[in-house]
Amino acid sequence: VFFKCENFQKTGVFKFRGAMNAVQLLNDDVTAVGTHSSGNHASALTKAAVLSGRDAHIVMPSNAPLIKQNMVRSYGGNIIFCEPTLKSREETAAKMQQETNAELIHPYNDPRVIYGQGTMGVELIEDG
């Protein structure tokens, strides 16, 4: 039995791999990133952005858990609240992107994020 303890990632969430991969693949002229997320991707992307010297603009539903909001804030992210619906998240994220010129990094439908998450499987095979 092998375990890959992703909870030991820098943010304590498994989403950090995907977020960091996406941020590392950005062009140097990208100064800010953005997303919509209730928490895990939000904190992971904020940490990855800050580590790379970029701003992070995070659209969160108004009912997002306070602990998730505090994580994003503690890493230096700018939170923009929206109604707790997918439509509101997407509309608010689009508006945020226009206003900030941030590169939108979707929480689950971005190939850069998916590839980054997939590195866990590669490591598991290599370690096994």
Active site residue 37: no
Which element (helix H / strand E) includes 34? strand 32-36
Active site residue 15: yes
Give the residues across from 78 on adjacent strands: 57
Per annotation, catalytic residue among 4, 15, 47, 88: 15
Per annotation, catalytic residue among 4, 10, 37, 38: 38
Cβ burial, residue 94 (10 Å; 0-12/13-18/19+): middle
**Active-site amino acid positions:** 15, 38
